[in-house]
Amino acid sequence: MTDIERAMLDIAEVRDRLAMTQRFRGISGVAAIASGCFAIAAGVLQALLVAVPQGAYEQRVYASIWLVCGTAAMIVNYGSIAHWFVSDASVRDRWQTRTVGLAILPAIALGAAITLALLTRGAFSYLPGVWYGCYGVGLFASRMMLPRDVLPIAAFFLVAGIALLFTPAAIALAWWVLPIGFGVGQIAIGVLVARDRREHP
């Protein structure tokens, strides 16, 4: 092994150790998996009620299902963070909580504002793209605090969000679109977080 190769290995080790010190421990893998299950359940409910919503009434039903699902997911995830913050967090962990909160807040605020604007204008077909895209931006913004393997999932959310903005309503609003990302994708994030916690307690 040459000196350059040894130096590169040393740099990689330092980078990995630095990433571990920055890793945010307040995110619950169980909560992420639960929110993914919520999305799958919401997708099944949509399939039963308005599989491909057409007309103002069905689109309002669609929006109601997914807004309730999103609210429940946020309550579970942020509730677990709040519980961890109160019971287990150190001074450094509390600083990380504020850092993560500030990193994600712009994506959440933007997503909420655009959602409200689209709802008031009846532009329901853009909602999936906005939700995917804003969540992907939030994941990228907090990537240093998450397991490295989450990055491809964040990229998927961002690319899917952009694509959905140009997708016909019959596809964008279909019952299976949101469960793919916010169901399967969120469960995958939960599994990665839980695995990371086991490997690096």
What tens digit of pLDDT does each residue of 36-71 get? Answer: 999 999 999 999 999 999 999 999 999 999 999 999
- Which string of b and e fits 160-169 if b means at least 16 CB within 10 Å? bbeebeebeb
**Residue of 35, 8, 29 whose CA lies nearest to 150:** 29
Residue 147 confidence (pLDDT): 83
Distance CA 73, CA 107 (A): 16
Residues with pLDDT less than 70, the chain: 1-26, 83-86, 88-102, 200-201
DSSP for 87-145, please give it.
HT--HHHHHHHHHHHHHHHHHHHHHHHHHHHHHHHT-GGGHHHHHHHHHHHHHHHTGGG
Q: What does pTM read for this prediction?
A: 0.84
Residue 148 confidence (pLDDT): 85
Say if CB 158 and CB 140 are below 8 A apart: yes
Number of other residues whose CB lies within 10 A of the CB of residue 10: 10
Residue 199 confidence (pLDDT): 73
Distance CA 54, CA 46 (A): 12
In 3-state terms, what secondary structure has residue 183? helix
Residue 16 confidence (pLDDT): 46
Residue 118 confidence (pLDDT): 97
Residues 6+ apart with CB under 8 A from 137: 106, 107, 110, 158
Residue 106 confidence (pLDDT): 87
**How far apart, in Å, are the Cα atoms of 168 and each of 15, 52, 93, 164?**
44, 11, 44, 8
Residue 53 confidence (pLDDT): 97
Residue 40 confidence (pLDDT): 98
